[in-house]
Amino acid sequence: GSLECWGADGFDQVGNAPAGTNFEVLETSNNYNCALDDSGAPSCWGQDGGFGVVDDVPTVTGLVSLSLTERIACGLDGDGVISCWGKDNHAQISDVPTSSGYIDIASSTVSGTEWERVCAIAADGSIDCWGYDLGLTPPTGGGHTQIVAGEASFCALNTLGEITCWGQDETTVNATPTGAGYTDITANEGAFACATTSAGIMECWGHSNSFLTDFAINNYASTVPAQPGFVAMQVYEENN
C-alpha cells in the first residue's frame, strides 16, 4: 500500500514519506519512521540526529518486522536474521547476533540518555540481549513467543501465557500481571504495557512516562474497558 502521514512535521517525518504503493510494514519512533516494501527493503525518513537511523539504512531485503528507538533501528528477516543500524556507543550494532532463527525482536531506551538495549527471542524460545545493560537479567530458558519493550524495560510472553518483565523501570516490572493464559502483549516508549487474555480481556500496568506516573496508574490503567472480546490493542506515549 501507499504511505500517508499527518501531524507534526518538524523533522520531515510527515512530508518526506516515500512515494510508492508497495509498502507492507510501517513502524514509527518519536522523530522518524521506517517502512518495509514488498521485497522487505527498509526506507526511513525524518530526523537522523547524527545517529544513522535515517542516513545509514542498510541495503537489505527480506525484512518482515522492525523495532525502532530514537538512536537505533533493527529489522528481522524471514529467516530470523537480525539487521540493526544507527548509533553503536554500547555495541547495540556491533554485538548483533549473527545466527538465524530469531522469531521476535524489541529495542528499549532510557529517556534523556544514549542508552539502548535490544532483546530478541531465539528459535528455541530463549532470549538474547545486547547493548547497554538496563539492569536485571531476562528470564532464562526457552518457550518465549513474544517480546515488547517500554522505556528501560522489556516484557516477554511464554507458551503458557505467562508474562515476565525486567529492566530499570520498577513501575512496569513490579506491576507485571501474574498467572497464565495471556495471548498478546504490547508496550509503549513510556513504560506502559497492556496484555489480553484468551477471553479477550485487556489488562494494563506501568506508566505512560516518567512525569505522569501517578496519573497513568490511577487513570489510564483503571479505565481500561472491562468487557471481553478484544482481538487487537496498541498503546502510545503521551508527550506533554
pLDDT digit string, tens, across residues 119-158: 999 999 999 999 988 766 888 999 999 999 988 889 999 9
DSSP string for 164-214: EEEES-HHHHHTPPPSS-EEEEEE-TTSEEEEEETT--EEEEE-SSTT-HH
pLDDT in tens, 96-125: 999 999 999 999 987 777 789 999 999 999
> Can you tell me the distance from the alpha carbon of 232 to that of 71, in angstroms, rounded to the nearest whole number?
28
Name the amino acid, one letter, at 208.
Answer: S
CA distance 177 to 187: 14
For the chain, how far is it from start to end, CA to CA, in angstroms?
32
Among 54-58, 75-79, 211-215, which is the least confidently predicted range?
Answer: 211-215
Q: What b-and-e string marks burial along 38-54, b requiring 16 or more CB atoms within 10 Å of the CB?
A: eebbbbbbbbbbebbbb
Cα–Cα distance measured from residue 214 to residue 125, given in angstroms and rounded to the nearest whole number = 35
CA 68 to CA 47: how far, in whole Å? 13
